[in-house]
Amino acid sequence: MKRIWLLFSQTVTVLVAAYFVVATLQPQWLNRRAVIGGVSVIEAPASSLPRVTGAASPTASFASAAKIASAAVVSINTSKAAVKNPQMNDPWFKFFFGDQGPGEAQAGLGSGVIVSSSGYILTNNHVVEGADDIEVILNDTRKARAQVIGTDPDTDLAILKIDLDKLPVIVLGNSDALQVGDPVLAIGNPFGVGQTVTSGIVSALGRNQLGINTFENFIQTDAAINPGNSGGALVDVNGNLMGINTAIYSRSGGSMGIGFAIPVSTAKQVLDGIVKDGQVTRGWIGVEPQDLNTELVEAFRLSPEAAKAGGVIITGVLQNGPAAQGGIRPGDVITAVNGKPVGNVSQLLTAVAALRPGTAAPLTVLRGESSVEIAVTPGKRQRPKVRQ
């Protein structure tokens, strides 16, 4: 019996040691295949994000991560036909203004990331919006015309598809595990000069209220992001995709060390919705929320505990809406949605939008001096109508 136990313990020890060796030297071997909206993708294990516990070596190289990820990052060239003035054929218009000609076509540059061997590409909506022709150029110089599968202006993401074989695919990382100070690389095609890799760290997480998108939960980084990088990859030191580079804060048009990327967790939701249903379906509960402040604390006579806890106060509830049916009342302070803390209106909007319509989810609410959990079944958020 002792011999069997000794053999078992030795076997377990060897297997654990082998796991740690592989996780350290060849983490990509532990990647698993997953299906998002019917699309086969590759996901990294949740524990794959490395942590630097001591001083970083000044000679550390990110060459391996850059090589792994760069193959799946593409350049995107777009063109838009010139808009013809409808009065150009009017003789009187030509008499007064002359022959204006057809005008000039518009061209644009951007980047994208291949997320599936079947040809699906993640990029920004503003890269391809209004384009009549989209050309994708791979890092191995192959070119292909791209089809727009769907767009989601609320997150500024778009899904393209190309028809080529033997496509390199990026590994989708776990952006929820990122921490401020983690090293990251930004890969894209800035200013059309060709694929470029820049390095930096995660400067902040959960950036919102920037006025860029409807649903904002940006990763902020000081890795240089410039025009043309939009739609490119923000990756960790294993080459796993952490975000889609989207915007910069700049007074000159160039990088000033403040760039923003959409987390891959958001990108996966958009990919799933667009490929499966043709659009992204989001939750809605029918409330009027406001950021908690001193005036509202006094107006609703909230307890000191509620004021200290923070959260979002509900100043109005739609009659017969999902929140009203669940028991939410004006004056309630929502502090968490489905287990995720919310500290402002933007975070509440994003958290509720991530809920699946028709499936009950718990909301943590401060009511008076007590904290209660209320189950609310969200409805479907309607997309805003486009003005003609």
Q: Which of 230, 255, 265, 346 is catalytic?
A: 230
Q: Which of 366, 365, 338 is nearest to 353 (CA)?
A: 338
Find residue 265's DSSP bridge partners.
none
Burial of 117 (0-12, 13-18, 19+ CB in 10 A): middle
H or E segment at 128? Answer: helix 125-128
40 belongs to the catalytic site: no
Give the type of residue at 94: K
Q: Which of 126, 175, 203, 236 is catalytic?
A: 126
Q: Which of 152, 156, 222, 272 is catalytic?
A: 156
Q: Could you tell me the two tokens for 352?
A: 């509720």
Place of tokens 């028991």: 327
H or E segment at 307? Answer: helix 304-309
Rounded CA separation 72/171 (Å): 9
Give the type of residue at 326: G
236 belongs to the catalytic site: no
64 belongs to the catalytic site: no
φ/ψ of residue 137, rounded to 5: -115, 120
Catalytic residue set? 126, 156, 230
